[in-house]
Amino acid sequence: MFPLEVPLNYKTQPPWEFLLSASRNSLQSYELSRLSHAANLRKEIAQLLDSWLEENTAAMLARWLMEEREHSAPAHESRERSAAKDEGVAALDPRGKTAHAASDNFFADRPGATPEFRSRS
C-alpha cells in the first residue's frame, strides 16, 4: 500500500558546534528543516497506524469467521439432518454432509444473530 521509507540512521544529538556558532538565519533555517522532518515523520506514523489497523481488522474478521463456523457447525449439521429426513431424500457428499451448490449464499442458512461482544479482561 504505502512504500515505507525508514531512515537507517537517526541522529539523536543535535550538531552542537554548528548550532552554537550559527547565525540567526542559519538557526531559523535549521529549525524549519527539523520541523519539516518532524511533520514528514508524523505523516509516516499516521500511514503506519492506518496500515496496522487495516491488517488487525482483517485478522480479526478471519478469527471471527473461524469462531462463527466452529460455533454454528453443530447446529447447522443438525438442521441439515432434520431437513433431509423431512424431505425423505438427501444429496450427500462423500463426508456424509448435505451437498450445496457453490453459488448458494454463504449466510443464507443462518438466522440473523447479533454479534457477541467480549470485554477485555
Predicted local confidence at residue 53, as pLDDT = 97
Asked if pLDDT for residue 113 goes beyond 60, the answer is: no
* Claim: this prediction has a pTM higher than 0.75: no
Q: Copy the grid coordinates of residue 73.
A: 457447525
- Please say if the pLDDT value at position 99 is more than 60: no
What nine digits make up the cell of 67?
469462531
User: Bridge partners of 92?
Assistant: 98
Supply the DSSP symbol for 94. Answer: T
pLDDT digits (tens, 9 = 90+) for 18-38: 999 999 999 999 999 999 999
pLDDT at 119: 57
Q: How far apart are CA 84 and CA 119, in angstroms?
A: 39
Closest CA to 4 of 45, 53, 32: 45
How many residues appear in the chain?
A: 121
Q: Is the CB of residue 98 less than 8 Å from the CB of residue 80? A: yes
Band the pLDDT of 96: cuts 50, 70, 90. Answer: low
